[in-house]
A and B are shown apart, each in its own frame.
Chain A
């Protein structure tokens, strides 16, 4: 096992810069998830750690060793690909033992390692099968088994669950997490799915346009997003954003374009007529008869356990989340309140958090 250290890592394709100086410390045994929309550079960063892409600038260390110019096979890493990249003409045991076979390991040693990995993943009965005879979930497990057999210092996962159906994805998510808790191998996991990131990560790295937006524990990111991008990306249903203007009169209010007011928390560096973007998580808006906000319900989505409904507030669709049955109907006008402490306040120009 080893830590992974990225120091101002850059990647250029010709004149196009994909990664703008990424700094990241991944501790020994940590499970770090790189998350972001497609094209944000997360996969490129992972492939640079693997050695499949050249480093244009900066340094990558695995443990104490600088690996910028080390070949992938000498980095002591294992990677699980989105397509699994199994060798189609080799059976499960050969797929898993391929790396050891190339190292000319003893046959008994290969069989032992493959056997124990297969047992751990529930593949014992499938060792003689070819990849095309396996289901998606089984192939995924073989890909993981191939990684485990190598007993690497670092596991790299490149969207390993994207090709599975929704139900299996939830299942494998838990399985990968359990596996990490047993093996405690440093893991870097790339996904575009923020739910995967939230459920699996010790720490999440949110990326956008080649920049790291924020690094932190899942709930820290949820509770205190550093900017509008992270706020909108983490959480489902997503955060609502309302443009507003500051008005001070004893208390500090954010005035929406249609004149409705939201009470803001005290002690923020705000002055009259400052422009703001107010972020409101759907679960922090509550139906309340004495609420300060008035809006019309447009769409109701009953989910059984909870209800999501969309209201027209300040000419925008705003999502509200309530546990149980909300008892609202489309077309109904409702009064709502929002806890000032739960508001997220951003600078609309820079997008960064004010409070």
Chain B
């Protein structure tokens, strides 16, 4: 049968809205999630920040206002910890990223036994961080590990001593362990992004006359840029707050040379037993990382505009 559409449309009755209920109703459905979020995320955060205004000692706590903030300003150990954190984060991130990118590019090319190599490459990710910290500490130990002897044989060190026991080089120990531990993350995510580049685009570029380097710099990199921005951001935050490896390998020593902010927070809270000061430093780290994240998200937005 043929009939006009307007007849059907007029069949429905105009719906009466009860405004008050209609506005509340969606929130009722969302309430379990909201309650959970507030209880699990917001409450601990607020309590943690509230410690910022208090000073704790063995059996009592007192309100000190901005006293912890003032203590922070004159704390030279904290200044050293901030420098260490910057160094630890930048160096780890730099090597993790470039080695991870190189690995992803290699794994994107077909070769015999690729599946096996792929599985092996992702293995460090599966090792618990405490275990890899211990293993690397042993590797650097001249009594049980081979690394100092190799470095000595290569002429990189005058004597086969422990890198971790010299304040000038100690930070390199956890950084090497962290690079080893973090490469798979970049390799996995960048490989996934590489796989999403349509092969026809590379073929079109090959016909257009692009050399392999031009294809990489003018097509692959712009295509990867948004992924790179987001993974670098996530990874920076994780590395900056990651204390396991350092704590297992050096406990922040020798002479505070590997003490990063998270290590210092741990020491303040559980060795000096001043949770207030630990919380104050944690808030500082939080603010720094949020500022960093905002900057990077802005950069990413300008990159994403192109893809």
Contact = CB atoms under 8 A, between A and B. Distances in A.
B65 to A, nearest CB: 52
B207 A89 contact: no
B204 interface: yes
A82 to B, nearest CB: 8
B198 interface: yes
A103 B206 contact: no
B207 A73 contact: yes
Contacts of A150: 208
A87 B201 contact: yes
Given A52-B206, A73-B207, A99-B209, A88 B200 contact: no
Given A71-B206, A83-B198, A85-B203, 18 more contacts: A51-B207, A52-B207, A72-B206, A72-B207, A73-B209, A77-B207, A78-B207, A81-B204, A86-B201, A88-B223, A98-B205, A98-B210, A99-B208, A102-B210, A103-B209, A130-B306, A146-B204, A150-B208
Contact of B219 (A87, A99, A132): A87
Interface of A: 50-52, 71-73, 77-79, 81-83, 85-89, 98-99, 102-103, 130, 132, 146, 150
A247 B201 CA distance: 60
A50 B205 CA distance: 12
Nearest to B197: A88
Contacts of B206: 52, 71-73
A71 B205 CA distance: 12
Nearest to B209: A73
The secondary-structure label for the interface of chain B is: helix
B4 interface: no
Contacts, number: 61
B307 interface: yes
Interface in B183-211: 198, 200-201, 203-210
B203 A89 contact: no
Nearest to B204: A85
Nearest to A50: B207
Contact of A89 (B200, B208, B209, B306): B306
Contacts of B223: 88-89
B61 interface: no
Interface size for chain B: under 10, 10 to 19, 20 to 34, or 35 or more residues?
Answer: 10 to 19
Interface of A is mostly: loop
A107 B206 CA distance: 21
A150 B207 CA distance: 10
A85 B200 contact: yes
Interface in B19-53: none
21 contacts: A71-B206, A72-B203, A72-B207, A73-B209, A77-B207, A79-B203, A85-B198, A85-B201, A85-B204, A86-B204, A87-B218, A88-B307, A89-B223, A89-B306, A89-B307, A98-B205, A98-B208, A102-B208, A102-B214, A132-B307, A150-B208
B204 A79 contact: yes
Contacts of A50: 203, 207
Contacts of A73: 206-210
A88 B206 CA distance: 16
A88 B201 CA distance: 9
A134 to B, nearest CB: 14
B222 interface: yes
A349 to B, nearest CB: 42
A86 B203 CA distance: 11
A89 B204 contact: no
A72 B203 CA distance: 9
A87 B306 CA distance: 10
Nearest to B202: A85
Contacts of A98: 205, 208, 210
A83 B207 contact: no
Nearest to B206: A72
Contacts of A52: 203, 206-207
Contacts of B222: 89
B77 to A, nearest CB: 46
Contacts of A78: 207
Contacts of A81: 200, 203-204
A65 to B, nearest CB: 17
Contacts of B218: 87
Interface in B201-254: 201, 203-210, 214, 218-219, 222-223
Closest 8 CB pairs of A and B: A99-B208, A89-B306, A73-B209, A85-B200, A85-B204, A89-B222, A102-B209, A81-B200
A88 B209 CA distance: 18
A79 B219 contact: no
Interface string B291-307: 00000000000000011
Contacts of A85: 198, 200-201, 203-204
A89 B224 CA distance: 11
Contacts of B306: 88-89, 130
Contacts of B200: 81-83, 85
A85 B209 CA distance: 15
A52 B214 CA distance: 18
B209 to A, nearest CB: 4
A88 B208 CA distance: 15
A89 B210 CA distance: 16
A150 B205 CA distance: 13
A60 B48 CA distance: 74
